Structure 1
């Protein structure tokens, strides 16, 4: 059977409506779940009939409520999952895709628990894993001889790890290819080098993973460091938090006012210098090339004034030198402006 159908674009809208109003008391009775569509919509799910009814009140935490509802959905055998995947690929059956996702939600919980030690909110990890599960359904090729659960684990782990990489640390680790490689493989590489009888130094890890040693040191410092809470009391301070001692990335008001005043003075000097230029050609070079947002080329100005572009360049150098003297006369010899050096 051809696998070309797997290339068809599909966007299954998987809606997991398992929550209830915050002010409602939910009583899950087995007798009320004979019709699976009452619980999960237009589906016929295998529900575990030997489960006892459970009471979920408005005070039940979201994780407990979520796991309690998943206990009513029985995982499907590999053969039935294969059949569902084929129905989705061949017929675009969205109900088959939904059932494949819903009956594997407990697999996501199992995998998310493996990373819980690194993240306090298990529901965040489950949510990202569910995204990976949905992605696996869209990309799965049922004709390659690989079980769906084996394939789905890759996407579930990938989404969870990607979430951790981008949210676990205040400084983003995965901003480069080397950073992402180290995030996923640093600890595994250390264990492998120790198993081989080597000390896992940054240089050795860098050679093993084909990255720079400096990148290994940077990422390792973030992964190995204990978490720092911004609202925690700062060492040596009684009423000051760590966050309050961190320098701000914003410009302070005094610096902003000084920079604004300097900018105003420079603009006034530019305007004044242009006003005192008498030669029409020099005035054109100043306004149309030297301070214009879209400066004209040396060639076009040379053609307009009947001279070579080299002559226009020479005049421009003279004007620059004159403007530097004018600016220093207006603002004083102690002015420090980086771009002033270009006016030689």
Structure 2
């Protein structure tokens, strides 16, 4: 997927980069002092000075991800969000330079943005998949250099899978994703045609006509069943409802206890009721069992 900034955006990005490079570098004591003032007293000017001084870090890291084809300005904006998060969470008492701490937040923000926008197909969400996405090209290039430019084979893929601790199938799948490009379903097929790719997709769902027919058939069959059930006596209707028309029919033994008769007697009554229904329903449909599926004893 390719993204290109318009001229105005490119000009604005260039101005931001130049301004970032002009910001003075902070000494260790100065950045710790600014961080403490913001953390302990909510000093916003201190926060702004700390953040401005490290926007050059954001610009530098955005350059490392330029090969993914996303707008540099968007990468910088996402990196600035990560920089702000780092500034709000930085603990100067841990005796770590802010640049070291902020780098992780900036890189993470940019990587999340790339994964969301690099392709319309979601690439991966787990830590292992993210690591595979951002390291596959580098490892593939290294293996290619070691093998005098040969294409990545099964041995190379297994080596990458072992190094990144991911299944071989994940490496194969990610390699296919990185080598493919997204295409619009509205793109025309052929240079002179007016058909779009989406015109050739097969719909898995029933058509509106099929849905309408199925609905009418369902209503009609329900009507036939109700008519047939009305011809049974009350005990026969009760047995059929409990044994055949419930999602989980009751057993013969359970129904026998409820009716005060033996299990065998319930079986006989059910058999007789089913014979009556089959005769009544068969006048309308070929397979009465479609309405009255066989139950379990």
Q: Residue 191 of structure 2: which of 237, 255, 269 is its match? A: 237
Aligned counterparts of 1:130 and 1:91: Cα–Cα separation in 2: 23
Name the structure 1 match of 2:210: 258
* 1:169 and 1:222 in contact (8 A); partners too: no
Work out which of the two has the higher radius of gyration on C-alpha atoms and give 1 or 2.
2
Q: Is 2:171 the counterpart of 1:221?
A: no
Select the structure with the greater relative contact order (CA < 8 A; seq sep ≥ 6): 2
Structure 2 CA distance for partners of 1:91 and 1:126, relative to 1, 3 Å: same
> Which TM-score applies when normalising by structure 1?
0.60
Name the structure 1 match of 2:3: none
Structure 2 CA distance for partners of 1:139 and 1:248, relative to 1, 3 Å: farther
Deviation by residue 1:68-121 (Cα, 9 ceiling, x = unmatched): 256446144143222221222223334433332233333222221222232242
Give the deviation of 1:320 after TM superposition. 9.7
SS of the aligned residue for 1:181 comes to: helix
Structure 2 CA distance for partners of 1:179 and 1:161, relative to 1, 3 Å: same
Give the deviation of 1:220 after TM superposition. 0.8
> Which TM-score applies when normalising by structure 2?
0.68
Give the deviation of 1:148 after TM superposition. 1.1
Structure 2 CA distance for partners of 1:64 and 1:314, relative to 1, 3 Å: farther
Aligned counterparts of 1:331 and 1:115: Cα–Cα separation in 2: 66
Q: Which runs of 5+ in 1 are unaligned?
A: 1-58, 334-339
Deviation by residue 1:9-58 (Cα, 9 ceiling, x = unmatched): xxxxxxxxxxxxxxxxxxxxxxxxxxxxxxxxxxxxxxxxxxxxxxxxxx
Aligned counterparts of 2:201 and 2:38: Cα–Cα separation in 1: 54
Aligned counterparts of 1:60 and 1:211: Cα–Cα separation in 2: 42
1:43-192 pair list within 5 angstroms:
61-68=8-15, 71-72=18-19, 74-79=23-28, 80-175=30-125, 178-191=128-141
Q: Which runs of 5+ in 2 are unaligned?
A: 1-5
Q: Residue 206 of structure 1: which of 147, 161, 164 is its match? A: 161
Name the structure 2 match of 1:23: none
Structure 2 CA distance for partners of 1:202 and 1:256, relative to 1, 3 Å: farther
Query: How many pairs were matched up?
Result: 272
* 1:101 and 1:134 in contact (8 A); partners too: yes
Aligned counterparts of 2:188 and 2:84: Cα–Cα separation in 1: 43
